[in-house]
Structure 1
Amino acid sequence: MFKTYHWLSKMGTAKTINGYIYFFRKIPFIKKIFRSDTFDYPNLKTFIGGISFVLSFIIAIFKSAMSLGVVVLIMFLLLGDFTIMQEGFQVAIFFFYFCFGLIVPKVLSKEVSNFYNICVFKANPTNLGLSLSLISRLIQCFGRTLIFILILPIFDISILSAIIISLLCLGGQLIGEAGYLWLYKEKGKAPSLSTAYMIVLILIILICAGVLLKVGIYGDILTHYISIIFITGLTGLSWYYILNYDHYNEAFAMVARKEYYDVMLNPGAVTFSNVELKNSDLSISETNEKTGYSLLNTIFFRRHRRILIKPALIKSAVCTLIFIFALIYGLLFNSSHVKEGINIVINQYTMFPFLLYMLCNSEKVTRAMFLNCDFSLMRFGFYKEKKALLKMFSLRLRDVALINAIITLTISVGLILLTSVFASDALMAMVLVTIMTIVLGLFFTVHYLFIYYIFQPYTEDLKTKSPMYGVLKGIVYFLCWIMIGVESPQTVLLPIIILFSVLYTIVALVVVYTKAPKTFRVK
């Protein structure tokens, strides 16, 4: 069992090193240092692999610090009150780690590493199962306990309570793991392999978390002796069950079946599954007035109405219904509530970057462009020419901007209308918010087209292979998300958001028009 875990650590280390080498080989100037192949540097990998078991403890500490930081940030954004956070922190931590154990089991999961370990490297299923379920959990518990001892006293939680909470988190994870194994053995079912099950489970977890925060189940409920005895008893039974489980062969044989990994071995199946055309999308409509690339672009967007335009119309319809409901409610029942809501929108304008990120996310558009147009046409020389490439970019920019404008204009008109009727004194402040909304819609339009044309991340086998593409997406998402909790006067931050969005848009367009003819290629 320990030898298997050490072997897993060495394999994971080699994989991580390969990933970093591949990443650095894509960065200008730095790539000159890494002239060899990604799978080279055997001495480095052998050395680091030899100390991988020790490194796993260090990695566990860093991961625990990051996960605890996520819990703190989420609670602060939801509650915004340090005192309340102190009172409910124990329950929040246990709830997070216990639920995460339910969502991400070690054995009955769609981890592609399980496929390789069983089918390629022929690992012993029992030793592999015990290594994943017990040894890795214990190492995680070590890192988590150390971080809890260092951080939780800030929230007035004693060191002893911090250790107990960490051990209870381990117990919750083992209980979840044993529950999945029992369900497979007795019922032949593995719900953890079902995407639908996971979605439902996550929704239930979010609802329960909201109830806990609303009801206010705080205090020392976790460190109460009854809770400790109950969870410890279940943990002991779970440990014994996992240790003596006699169906690891069957469990891994099922999760290593190829059909579970067709998608993971070919990520394009997931990446592009929601932009595939149906026969009903291929109907021919009148396009006599169009020629050349204008005709090509028109056909593309007409055939993708269901995929690209219909969702925008649905989002706009939902926003319209919300505004109509607010208007009727304010006119017939209580206008002060609507006015209060308008003031909240004005004061909490920093939520709009994330809101527009969700509503005007154009990544789906670029995936459709690649799968159903560019993937084939980029094989021909005429399509790679600067004039043709920039012509298509301009046409696409116009049409994607119009699609996103359906949403942003609906929101802007609705907000202006409600403000004019119920809070006319705040009309100018709302106008600034709507200007920001429209600018952000244009920002997200340009952003996704920019990173698509400059970093074109998709390969011939429909995989995503561009670190910078993912990094830029992650940075924008993080900035939008973090803005939700920022409180700043409208005169301070709102102009900065607008100015940054405008400058980014201009710079991105200049870069595309100057660099895209050289960068827009199939990897």
Structure 2
Amino acid sequence: MLRTLNTLLAIRTSITANMLIYYIQKLPLLGKLVHNSFYANLGLKKAVSIIALIITQLWGFMLRFAYLGILIYLPIAEFVVGLSEEEKHQQFVHIFAIISFVVAAISSATVLEPKREKYVAVKLMRLSGKRYMQASLAYRYTTFLLYLLPAMLLFGSLAGVSILQAILLTIMVTMWRVLAEYAHLKLFEKTGIVLIKQTALVWMIILIGYAGAYLPLLLGKVPFTGTFLLSLPVCIVITAVGLIAVFQLARYTGYGGVVDAATKRDDPLLDLGRMVTESQKKSVKSKESDYIIDVNEQGKLDGKKGYAYLNAIFFLRHRSLISSPVNKRLVIVGAFGVVGVLLTFLFREQLQSLKWNAGTVFPFLVLIMYYMSVGENICKAMFYNCDLSLMRYSFYRGSAFGHFLIRLKKMMGLNLSIAAAFGVSLTAIMAAAGGEWLNSELLMLWICVISLAVFFTIHHLFMYYIFQPYSTELNVKNPLYYIVNMGISAASGACIFLRIPIVPFTVSIAALTLIYLVAAPVLVRRYGPRTFRVR
């Protein structure tokens, strides 16, 4: 067992070390110092492997802190005002129980997970499937408990959960997840069904589960999940059946067939890179019907020349790629508005008692508009269907500034339409809530939404022209692109925690948008001819 576990860790750290070397090579300046010979330097690889192991362990702790802090504690502490300590306790345990005990137990199963590491260990290195799975499961749930416990002690105590209860919850969820592993295994053994591959069913359970987790909090209801889950009989039963599952998994003899089923080389879930590449190419492939242009549509090309004509043809011949993500977002925003208005009418008194207003929405606007903007989808479509061939020519790269401005105008119109629909939905919800809804907060809300739509339009197109992250297979290989986007994502999350007052927040967003709007064209004009190229 220990030898297999050591081999398992060696595979994981080696993969992580190779990834670190690869991405460091892609960094400017520093990348030139890292040569391909580093992959064969055993002494250096050992040092990098140690760093990789440390990073992996720290990442495990960080994920649990982020999970409990953002998904469970933050909604209780920040989104709802006036909860008592007992209510915080009950809501915390309820949300944790639904997401960790129900949703995660159904949507995740290590034993049947198609994984490249599993293929390398069992198929290429000829490790015993039984020994590999025993070591993998033992490591998975030992670290699961160790990673989760500190985060549970911290956020549980903040939510009124005692130290003993936090420890019990951590042990119980670990035992429950082991039991779920065994249930997945027996289901596959009896029926041949791999539950985690039933995508439609799994996502339906995820959506229902998350709705069930947060709905009592939004409706001001206090569930008694915590009282039930932390009762002595339930604690004993869950721990006992979990230990039985541990024993059954340890003595299980059919791991060979299970691993064979999970490591089929033609399984796209195993070859994650191939799956992503095929999915990305499919997502930017045009329909045949798009190339049929009728007389009315032909009029949109009249009077256009040069790059204006080229881009008009592109947007016309790939209209389904352009309109589909926009239409989906408009439908989502419309449904959000309708449902929001209905719920506001039904639970107006509860919302007023919880002091909900426009200011509640502001911290989430950056994150919402980041995901609502369609810039990244369109940039992929432009690269695959237009720029991939043309950017090989110096005249096209040299004119980067010209087609940047043309595309910026088009994309800004699309994102502003989404922003307008979102603003209308929020306005309707505020009107349904009653009170004086025509106020300065509503004006600030509209300014923020429109500014963010403009900001993210510029951002996605600027990142495309300056970093051009896509390879010929639509893989993203520019580490700076990752770093900048991670910074934007971190800033979006920070807005939720910082709770900046409405006026300074709005002024900051509008000012940053204006600066970006002025700086981006200048930088593209100067550096675009060199950076806008095939990787």
TM-superposed CA distance for 1:276, in Å, is 1.5
Moved more, 86-95 or 121-130: 86-95
Counterpart AA for 1:403:
L
Distance verdict in 2 for CA 1:243–1:215, change over 3 Å: same
Task: Give the secondary-structure state (helix, strand or coil) at the position aligned to 2:506.
Answer: helix
Give the whole-Å Cα distance in 1 for the aligned partners of 2:429 and 2:533. 47
Q: Which residue of 1 aligns with 2:88?
A: 85
1:293 is the counterpart of 2:297: no
Give the whole-Å Cα distance in 1 for the aligned partners of 2:356 and 2:8. 55
TM-score (norm 2): 0.84
Matches within 5 A, 1:315-326: 315-316=329-330
Matches within 5 A, 1:149-228: 149=153, 152-211=156-215, 213=217, 214-217=221-224, 219-228=226-235
1:444-478 CA distances to partner (integer Å, 9 max, x unpaired)? 11111111112212112332212222232233234
Q: Which residue of 1 aligns with 2:362?
A: 349
Distance verdict in 2 for CA 1:505–1:115, change over 3 Å: farther
Give the whole-Å Cα distance in 1 for the aligned partners of 2:284 and 2:385. 8
Contact 2:130 2:255 in 1 (8 A): yes
Extract unaligned runs of 5+ from structure 1: none
1:13 is the counterpart of 2:17: no
Q: Which residue of 2 aligns with 1:306?
A: 320
Task: Give the secondary-structure state (helix, strand or coil) at the position aligned to 2:252.
Answer: coil
Q: Which residue of 2 aligns with 1:452?
A: 464
Matches within 5 A, 1:111-510: 111-149=115-153, 152-211=156-215, 213=217, 214-217=221-224, 219-261=226-268, 264-266=272-274, 267-285=276-294, 286=298, 287-313=301-327, 315-316=329-330, 344-345=357-358, 348-384=361-397, 386-387=398-399, 389-412=400-423, 426-484=438-496, 487-510=499-522
Contact 2:458 2:517 in 1 (8 A): yes
Give the whole-Å Cα distance in 1 for the aligned partners of 2:424 and 2:38. 54
1:73 is the counterpart of 2:74: yes
TM-superposed CA distance for 1:405, in Å, is 2.2
Extract unaligned runs of 5+ from structure 2: none
1:112-148 CA distances to partner (integer Å, 9 max, x unpaired)? 3223333333332111111222232123323433554
Moved more, 479-488 or 348-357: 479-488
1:200-246 CA distances to partner (integer Å, 9 max, x unpaired)? 22112212312564442254433321111220232123213322323
Distance verdict in 2 for CA 1:355–1:89, change over 3 Å: closer
Distance verdict in 2 for CA 1:17–1:476, change over 3 Å: same
Matched pairs, number? 517
Contact 1:103 1:192 in 2 (8 A): yes
Task: Give the secondary-structure state (helix, strand or coil) at the position aligned to 1:259.
Answer: coil
TM-superposed CA distance for 1:199, in Å, is 1.5
Moved more, 213-222 or 263-272: 213-222
Q: Which residue of 2 aligns with 1:26?
A: 26
Counterpart AA for 1:465:
K
Give the whole-Å Cα distance in 2 for the aligned partners of 1:418 and 1:166. 39
Counterpart AA for 1:278:
K
Distance verdict in 2 for CA 1:403–1:150, change over 3 Å: closer
1:25-83 CA distances to partner (integer Å, 9 max, x unpaired)? 33334335434545243113336758998997666555544444344335434445583
Contact 1:102 1:176 in 2 (8 A): yes
TM-superposed CA distance for 1:182, in Å, is 0.8
Distance verdict in 2 for CA 1:261–1:309, change over 3 Å: closer
Task: Give the secondary-structure state (helix, strand or coil) at the position aligned to 1:521.
Answer: coil
Give the whole-Å Cα distance in 1 for the aligned partners of 2:415 and 2:251. 56
Q: Over aligned residue pairs, what C-alpha RMSD do you find?
A: 3.7
Task: Give the secondary-structure state (helix, strand or coil) at the position aligned to 2:209.
Answer: helix
Task: Give the secondary-structure state (helix, strand or coil) at the position aligned to 1:107.
Answer: helix
Distance verdict in 2 for CA 1:424–1:48, change over 3 Å: closer
Q: Which residue of 2 aligns with 1:39?
A: 39
Distance verdict in 2 for CA 1:513–1:62, change over 3 Å: same
Q: Which residue of 1 aligns with 2:534?
A: 522
Moved more, 201-210 or 166-175: 201-210
Counterpart AA for 2:237:
F
TM-superposed CA distance for 1:288, in Å, is 4.5
Distance verdict in 2 for CA 1:162–1:491, change over 3 Å: closer
Contact 1:281 1:303 in 2 (8 A): yes
User: Identity over aligned residues, as a percent?
Assistant: 23
